[in-house]
Amino acid sequence: MTNDTICAVSTAPGIGGIAVIRVSGPRAIETIDRHWNGRQLSSVQSHTAHLGTINDTDGQLLDQCIATVFRAPHSFTGDDVVELSVHGSRWVQRRLLELLTESGCRLAEPGEFTRRAFISGKMDLAEAEAVADVIASNSRAAHRIAVNQMRGGFSRRLASLREQLLELTSLLELELDFSEEDVEFASRQRLIDIAREIQREVTRLHQSFTAGAAIKDGIPVAIVGATNAGKSSLLNAILGDDRAIVSNIHGTTRDTIEETIELGDYQFRFIDTAGLRDTSDEIERIGIQRSRQAIARARIVIFVTDSTLPIDIDEISETTHANDDCNDNRHIILALNKSDLPDSRTEAPPIGLEFNTVHLSAKTGAGIDTLRDTLIRCADTEAGNADEDILVTNARHAQALGNATRSIARVTDGLTTGLPGDLVAQDLRETLTHLGEITGDISTTDILTTIFSRFCVGK
C-alpha cells in the first residue's frame, strides 16, 4: 500500500478537446472533494462517473468536468483513483495540478502509475512494459504484439517454461538424493528431453527479438544497387513524394536517407543509400560504407537494377549478404527497374528461390503495387503467426533470454555429458533467475527505476 497520493496529466501535452488528470493514492478522493462542487465523491460507488465543477481558490469557476472514481483495490494502480476529464486548456490543466499539489498531492514521476500497478501485483513487469508498447505502437502489427503481451501472453509462456524448469529441478534433486541407493527415478534421457524442449523454446523466443524489434520500430528496408539504377526514384515512388534528389548523374545520393511509411499492417523504415561503385571520391566512399551498414541492419533489402543493363547475380548475392553476423535470413527483393524503357528485359534472371523479383518502373509507377504487396508478404513472414508465436520486442527481455539460452544450453550439455547433478542444478537455477528477471519475480529498485523512467508522465 502506498501512502502518498500522486497526480499527473495522463493525456498528451498540449491543447485538446479533453484532458484527463489522474490522481492515485489513499487521499485521492478526499483531495478532489475539497475542490469539487457536485455529488460528494467520498460517498459514491466505485466505477462511477459524475458531472461537477471545480472552483479555483478565489471562488471563480475553473472548469466543468467529469470525475470517474475507482476504489482500491479495483483500479489500475490498486489504490483509490480519480480521473478528472476537464476541457483541454493548458491553463486549466496547469492550474488543476497546482491546486492538487497545494492540497498535498505529489506530481507523479514518469511511469509511476504503472509502477504502482506492478507493485500492487496488478500486473507483472513484462505486462507493465507492454502498456508502454501499446502506447507507442504505430502500426496494427506492433499494436497486436503489445496487446497480446499486455494481456499476459508472454508471461504465461514464461510461466510454463518456469514450471518445466522446476519439474526438471525436482527430478534432478530426486536423483541426487537417492544417488547412492542406485534407484533410478527418471531416466537421464527424459531429463535431457525436457531440457532440450526448454532450450528450443527459450532460443526461439530469444531469436524472435530480431523480427519483434523490427515490427515495433518499423521494419528496416535498405534500397541498394549500382549508381543511377533508380533507387532514389523508387523511394519517391513508394512514398508518393519527391523526398530524395534524383538525377542522371552517377553518385547523386551520398548520405543515407530514411523515411517511414505504413503499408498493410506494418510500419516500414526505408533507407535510400548511395549507389555502389568503386570511387576515389572520399565522401562518396563514406556514403557507400553507410550503404553496407544499412544492408547489415536491414530485414529486407531491395536491390534495384537498371533492367536495360546486364545483371550480375553473384554480385547481388554477395552484396546483400555483406557484413553478416546474425542477419543472414533477411529478405531480398530484386527490383528490375525502368521497365518503361523499350530495351528493358522482361524475363526474370535465373536466380535462386530466396529472391523475390519485381519488374517495375519508378518513373511511371508500374509494378509499385506489386512491390508493396511483396514487402507486406515479407513482413508477414517476419511476424509469423502473431497470435501463437510470441515475438519479443523489448531489448531487456531479449538480453535476459540470451542469458537464459546460454545457461539452459549448459544444462543440456551437462546432462548429456554426465556432469555431476549439483553443477547442473546450479545452471538450472540460473536459467530460472534470468527468466524471473523478465516478469519481475526477481528485480531490484534500480532496475524498476530504469524501466519506468522510460514511460511517459501520467502513465
Ligand X SMILES: Nc1nc2c(ncn2[C@@H]2O[C@H](COP(=O)(O)OP(=O)(O)OP(=O)(O)O)[C@@H](O)[C@H]2O)c(=O)[nH]1
Residues that bind Mg ion (CB under 5 A): 231-232, 252-253
* Least gap, CB of 297 to Mg ion (angstroms): 19
- Closest approach, Cβ 430 to ligand X, in A, equals 50
- Which of 204, 292, 363, 406 is close enough to bind ligand X by CB under 6 A? 363
Q: Among 83-91, 199-207, 334-342, 349-357, which window interacts with ligand X (CB under 6 A)?
A: 334-342
Q: At its nearest, how many Å lie between ligand X and the CB of residue 338?
A: 4
Beta strands in 264-419 (DSSP E): 266-272, 300-306, 331-337, 355-359
Residue 216 grid cell? 515495433
Instruction: Say whether residue 444 binds ligand X (CB under 6 A).
Output: no
Contact status: 340 vs ligand X (CB under 6 A): yes
Where are the strands (E) in 360-430, listed by range?
none
How far apart are CB 431 and ligand X at their closest, in Å? Answer: 49
Q: Does 291 bind ligand X (CB under 6 A)?
A: no
DSSP for 42-107? GGSPTTEEEEEEEE-TTS-EEEEEEEEEE-TTSSSSSS-EEEEEEEE-HHHHHHHHHHHHHTT-EE
Asked if 232 is part of the footprint of ligand X (rule: CB under 6 A), the reply reads yes
Phi, psi of 375 (to 5 degrees): -60, -45
Q: Show the site string, 236-275: x = touches ligand X by CB under 6 A, - = not.
A: ----------xxx-xxxx---------------------x
Which is nearer to ligand X, 5 or 361 (by Cβ)?
361
Work out which of 199, 233, 407, 412 binds ligand X, going by CB under 6 A: 233
Query: Does residue 77 bind ligand X (CB under 6 A)?
Result: no
**Can you tell me which of 227, 407, 412, 439 binds ligand X, judged by CB under 6 A?**
227
- Strand pairing of 257-263 and 331-337? unpaired
Residue 54, C-alpha cell as written in the block? 471545480
Residue 374 interacting with ligand X (CB under 6 A): no
CB of 232 to Mg ion, least distance (A): 3
Which one, 70 or 270, has the nearer CB to ligand X?
Answer: 270
Nearest to 304 by CA among 264, 244, 261, 260: 244
User: Distance between CA 261 and CA 372 in Å, rounded?
Assistant: 11
Neighbours of 25 (CB within 10 A): 25
The nearest distance, CB 246 to Mg ion, in angstroms, is 7
What's the closest the beta carbon of residue 225 comes to ligand X, in angstroms? 6
Does 288 sit near ligand X (CB under 6 A)?
Answer: no
In 264-397, DSSP assigns E strands to 266-272, 300-306, 331-337, 355-359
8 A C-beta contact, residue 40 and residue 33 = yes
Question: How far out from the chain centre does Cα 231 lie?
Answer: 29
What is the length of the chain? 459
**Chain CA centroid to CA 270, Å:** 18
Question: Which of Mg ion, ligand X, none does residue 291 bind (CB under 5 to 8 Å by kind)?
Answer: none
Q: Is 305 in the site for ligand X (CB under 6 A)?
A: no
Q: Does 362 bind ligand X (CB under 6 A)?
A: yes
* Alpha carbons within 13 A on the beta-carbon side of 186: 19
Choose between 242 and 422: whose C-beta lies nearer to ligand X: 242
Nearest to 397 by CA among 214, 203, 145, 209: 209
- Choice between 291 and 412, CB closer to Mg ion: 291
Residues 366/335, Cβ–Cβ less than 8 Å: no
Taking residue 332's Cβ as centre, other Cβ atoms within 10 Å add up to: 23
Minimum distance, C-beta of residue 246 to ligand X, in the bound complex (Å): 4
In whole angstroms, the minimum distance from the beta carbon of 259 to Mg ion comes to 13
Smallest separation, CB 365 to ligand X (Å): 9
Report if residue 341 touches ligand X, rule: CB under 6 A: yes
* 229 lies in the site for ligand X, by CB under 6 A: yes
Q: Tell me whether residue 243 or residue 297 sits nearer to Mg ion (CB atom).
A: 243
Name the residue nearer to ligand X (CB basis): 283 or 341: 341
Residue 248, binding choice from Mg ion, ligand X, none, Cβ under 5 to 8 Å by partner class? ligand X
The answer to whether 438 and 400 are in contact (CB under 8 A) is yes
Footprint of ligand X (CB under 6 A): 227-233, 246-248, 250-253, 275, 337-338, 340-341, 361-363
